[in-house]
Chains A and B, each alone.
Chain A
């Protein structure tokens, strides 16, 4: 699988959950991805809130987070 790095801070090889939450909150067509810290900062929220969202999406069976 192609390595994806954070578009903002350059953190390397961000994980599948992070890619999933980027797609969920920025749109399925998003091309550039943020790491959790940068995404939280971009959305003016917290990493804890984003992690809660990820768990909710997993509970709903969303395939983006498998």
Chain B
């Protein structure tokens, strides 16, 4: 089996697994309890918070553990419901993950106005588009740091400055970026940043929301006093410990893995070009390492996915059959991929475990299907 869909999820890191084991079996105390048996859990929670904060340039008190990226995004975006009614407008982009887009659609049903900014052909949100959309009632801007389909990295620092100049808060969905590119929340200037552990070799069902000190977000859930009273519920210590271990390791190895992933990208694309396939590479030049999103002229992305699947190769597609017709993803539509290419969109996302041999096998399999 060759797994090349690391934007969907990643393999749990073995060191992260070892780090979490004690908290699954021996140290199962509830971190909120005052007795000695709870202390290891409490200490592990604090250490994980500190380690994660350090990886993104935050303070530990600004890290709020959640069940993952979707919860973190929903918490941040829907927080506008608790703002004063005259200033609730949300500005986001057409390129966002459904965790943000569908949260925005829910807000619209509750009469919260939402603007969806267009993007250019590389998937970049225009600075002038954001400037033009920010009226007095804008409360929150939510633009993703890196796109999950095409890997485009947005100019968050500039977009954030504009939002702040107009008095709006700025949230970024950094689910695809955390653990894969350097992140410094202070340099970016963001008020909120969402992350998901299983995207960087941690456990599924865990993540965090960075909330800048001074931003008073309404609690996500009410109950106990966990997460500084903002997210009630007994903490999943084992998953949190694994998340911290995985993130630390990814950050320590980031330079090395980025080099490797760019090299795999080049190798794969060279093979395709050598076979004279007519394709467009989607996304900007500044993209997530290992992300290759291509649209192949006259091809059917869903067909390619299933044919590769039968060969034991896991990739993703930017189009899918909706019972009758092939539907192109909202991201591929937003970047205006020409129709004759759009349905032939596939995404290969290499990860730390992928090898040169695997990149060649995938490329050859793809060429065989298309030219066979």
Q: Jot down 24 A-B pairs with beta carbons below 8 A, ordered by A.
A: A24-B303, A24-B306, A25-B303, A25-B310, A26-B303, A27-B300, A27-B303, A28-B300, A43-B307, A43-B310, A44-B310, A44-B311, A45-B310, A45-B311, A49-B310, A53-B306, A53-B310, A60-B321, A60-B323, A61-B323, A62-B321, A62-B323, A63-B323, A63-B324
Q: Which residue of B lies closest to A40 (CB)?
A: B310
Chain A interface mostly: loop
19 new A-B contacts, CB < 8 A, other than A24-B302, A28-B326, A62-B321, are: A24-B303, A25-B303, A25-B306, A25-B307, A26-B303, A27-B300, A27-B303, A28-B300, A43-B307, A43-B310, A44-B310, A44-B311, A45-B310, A53-B310, A60-B321, A60-B323, A62-B323, A63-B323, A63-B324
> Which chain A residues lie closer than 8 Å to B311 at the CB level?
44-45
Per the bound structure, the CA–CA distance linking A28 and B301 in Å amounts to 12
Chain A positions 39-66 with a Cβ under 8 Å from a chain B Cβ: 43-45, 49, 53, 60-63
> Which chain B residues lie closer than 8 Å to A26 at the CB level?
303
List the interface of chain A (C-beta within 8 A of B). Answer: 24-28, 43-45, 49, 53, 60-63
Q: Which residue of A lies closest to B324 (CB)?
A: A63
> Which chain B residues lie closer than 8 Å to A44 at the CB level?
310-311
Q: Which residue of B lies closest to A23 (CB)?
A: B303
> Which chain A residues lie closer than 8 Å to B306 at the CB level?
24-25, 53
> Which chain A residues lie closer than 8 Å to B326 at the CB level?
28
> Which chain A residues lie closer than 8 Å to B323 at the CB level?
60-63
Q: Which residue of B lies closest to A43 (CB)?
A: B310
- Give a binary string over B296-324; 1 marks a CB under 8 Å from any A CB, 0 the rest: 00001011001100110000000001011
> Which chain B residues lie closer than 8 Å to A28 at the CB level?
300, 326
Per the bound structure, the CA–CA distance linking A63 and B322 in Å amounts to 9
Q: Which residue of B lies closest to A21 (CB)?
A: B306
Per the bound structure, the CA–CA distance linking A18 and B361 in Å amounts to 29
Most A CB within 10 A of own CB, among B307, B310, B323: B310
> Which chain B residues lie closer than 8 Å to A60 at the CB level?
321, 323
> Which chain B residues lie closer than 8 Å to A49 at the CB level?
310
> Which chain A residues lie closer than 8 Å to B307 at the CB level?
25, 43
In the complex, how many angstroms separate the beta carbon of A62 from the nearest chain B beta carbon? Answer: 6
> Which chain A residues lie closer than 8 Å to B310 at the CB level?
25, 43-45, 49, 53
In the complex, how many angstroms separate the beta carbon of A29 from the nearest chain B beta carbon? Answer: 9
Chain B positions 319-338 with a Cβ under 8 Å from a chain A Cβ: 321, 323-324, 326
Nearest 3 pairs of A and B residues by beta carbon: A45-B310, A61-B323, A63-B323
In the complex, how many angstroms separate the beta carbon of B315 from the nearest chain A beta carbon? Answer: 15
In the complex, how many angstroms separate the beta carbon of A66 from the nearest chain B beta carbon? Answer: 10
Q: Which residue of A lies closest to B309 (CB)?
A: A53
In the complex, how many angstroms separate the beta carbon of A33 from the nearest chain B beta carbon? Answer: 15
> Which chain B residues lie closer than 8 Å to A27 at the CB level?
300, 303
In the complex, how many angstroms separate the beta carbon of B293 from the nearest chain A beta carbon? Answer: 21
In the complex, how many angstroms separate the beta carbon of B274 from the nearest chain A beta carbon? Answer: 23
Q: Which residue of A lies closest to B320 (CB)?
A: A60
In the complex, how many angstroms separate the beta carbon of A18 from the nearest chain B beta carbon? Answer: 15
Chain B positions 243-290 with a Cβ under 8 Å from a chain A Cβ: none
Per the bound structure, the CA–CA distance linking A49 and B324 in Å amounts to 23
Per the bound structure, the CA–CA distance linking A62 and B300 in Å amounts to 16
Per the bound structure, the CA–CA distance linking A44 and B69 in Å amounts to 39
Per the bound structure, the CA–CA distance linking A49 and B310 in Å amounts to 7
Per the bound structure, the CA–CA distance linking A43 and B310 in Å amounts to 8
> Which chain B residues lie closer than 8 Å to A45 at the CB level?
310-311
